[in-house]
A and B are shown apart, each in its own frame.
Chain A
């Protein structure tokens, strides 16, 4: 069975500072990993995904994440936070594009002016 742990339910950064949201996963087979973002009153939308190949993946809005198999991690980063990045971020795992995607509990990002 797969599972996802997001470290820190809330993260606060200053505008322009580095954003780092942590995600660790558990999977008995090679996972597909995702980050989704949820803005207030909106549905979840895909930020980026890792399936196979290059372990550093780039997504929308300047976000990127690195798949580290040895650490079972898929942390999300952005070099410089913008006020518009304030949202809730969910890490998720599925197997072989399978039907069940398992989500972490989410990390709410606050960006201070």
Chain B
């Protein structure tokens, strides 16, 4: 069973460094989402891809954040010049096309970022 895969699972970095997370969605899912989860909060929507097109970005996604899905398969989320406030769990989810789903999301286990 190949679910949503994220790596690295944990990343510790110093403030000011760049980090990149990768997400491999379920193969037949054309929609891919990034969420951020901080302690005591639910997942917050960051951005969404349909195939390779990035269709929406949250205001939470500052200019230091960039996400790509170049071939409509895996996606990367890069954070430049990390700040301590970026420390969080970054969640990736995928789903079937709109015509084939009621909106169920399939989540990876997340990538935990700690910025020192």
A-side interface residues toward B, CB under 8 Å? 4, 6, 9, 32, 34, 36, 41-46, 49, 51, 90, 92, 94, 97-106
B-side interface residues toward A, CB under 8 Å? 3-4, 31, 33, 35, 40-45, 48, 50, 55-56, 91, 93, 98, 101-105, 107-110
Closest to A94 in B: B103
Q: When chains A and B are docked, how far (Å) is the Cα of A90 from the Cα of B91?
A: 14
* 12 A-B pairs in the complex with CB atoms less than 8 angstroms apart: A32-B102, A42-B109, A43-B91, A44-B43, A44-B107, A49-B104, A51-B102, A51-B103, A97-B101, A99-B31, A104-B42, A106-B41
Tell whether, in the assembled complex, residue A46 and residue B104 are in contact, meaning their CB atoms are under 8 Å apart.
yes
Q: A9-B40, A43-B91, A106-B41 are in contact. Are A100 and B48 (CB under 8 A)?
A: yes
Residues of chain B with a CB closer than 8 A to A106's CB: 40-42
Min Cβ gap B103→A in Å is: 4
Tell whether, in the assembled complex, residue A41 and residue B109 are in contact, meaning their CB atoms are under 8 Å apart.
yes
Q: When chains A and B are docked, how far (Å) is the Cα of A67 from the Cα of B43?
A: 22
Given A34-B104, A49-B102, A105-B41, 10 other A-B contacts at CB below 8 A?
A6-B42, A43-B107, A46-B104, A94-B103, A99-B31, A99-B48, A99-B55, A104-B42, A105-B40, A106-B40
Min Cβ gap A83→B in Å is: 22
State which of A41, A51, A94, A103 has its C-beta within 8 Å of the C-beta of B43.
Answer: A103
Residues of chain B with a CB closer than 8 A to A9's CB: 40
Residues of chain B with a CB closer than 8 A to A32's CB: 102-103
Q: When chains A and B are docked, how far (Å) is the Cα of A49 from the Cα of B43?
A: 17
Residues of chain B with a CB closer than 8 A to A94's CB: 103
Q: When chains A and B are docked, how far (Å) is the Cα of A94 from the Cα of B41?
A: 18
Residues of chain B with a CB closer than 8 A to A90's CB: 42-43
Q: When chains A and B are docked, how far (Å) is the Cα of A57 from the Cα of B56?
A: 31
